[in-house]
Amino acid sequence: MPKNADRPHVSKVNIDTELHERARAAVRIVERVTGRHYTIAQFLREAIGAQLTAIARDYNQGHEILPDTEPLHPGRR
């Protein structure tokens, strides 16, 4: 059995270093203020979920955004 067979598929996305560092700082703030364990992965899932909700509402007539497996063009345009 492959090493990660029991884990969901994950992807790697490149983001600017400063944005990543600010997200890390936000995670530490949540941990410090709430006393609960909070991860960067949890932060990213919640942030992406919130953005998907906003885009569905604003640009997709409120319909859920379904998965799209077609790769996007790499890099900046």
User: What pLDDT does residue 1 have?
Assistant: 47
User: What pLDDT does residue 62 have?
Assistant: 97
User: What pLDDT does residue 11 have?
Assistant: 75
User: What pLDDT does residue 3 have?
Assistant: 57
* Euclidean distance between CA atoms 38 and 32, whole angstroms: 10
Q: 3-54 pLDDT, tens per residue?
A: 556 667 777 778 899 999 999 999 999 999 999 999 999 999 999 999 999 9
* Euclidean distance between CA atoms 48 and 74, whole angstroms: 19
